[in-house]
Amino acid sequence: MKVLNIISLIILILGGLNWLIVGLFEYDVVSEIFDGSDSVGAKIVYIIVGLAALYSLSFFSKVAADE
């Protein structure tokens, strides 16, 4: 389970960095790699990042339990 937590956080951080670049420079790295945001590859990446974010919601209970 710890490995899944680490992978989820890495994916979430990379997705967040992509959105930072989109916000600052209007440049979407994922869209550029997969030749457009409507391509199947880009959609898969966006779905994986979204699933990682949903999974990371479970971390709130762990953080609250630590305090």
Short-list 18, 8, 6, CA closest to 51 = 8
Q: What's the number of domains the chain is made of?
A: 1
Within 13 Å and on the Cβ side, how many CA atoms surround 50? 6
Predicted local distance difference test score (pLDDT) of residue 11: 94
pLDDT digits (tens, 9 = 90+) for 8-47: 999 999 999 999 999 999 999 999 999 988 999 999 999 9
Domain containing 32 equals 2-66
Q: How far apart are CA 15 and CA 9, in angstroms?
A: 10
Q: Are 12 and 53 in contact (CB under 8 A)?
A: yes
Residue 59 to residue 38: CA distance in whole angstroms: 31
Asked if residues 28 and 37 have their Cβ atoms less than 8 Å apart, the reply is yes
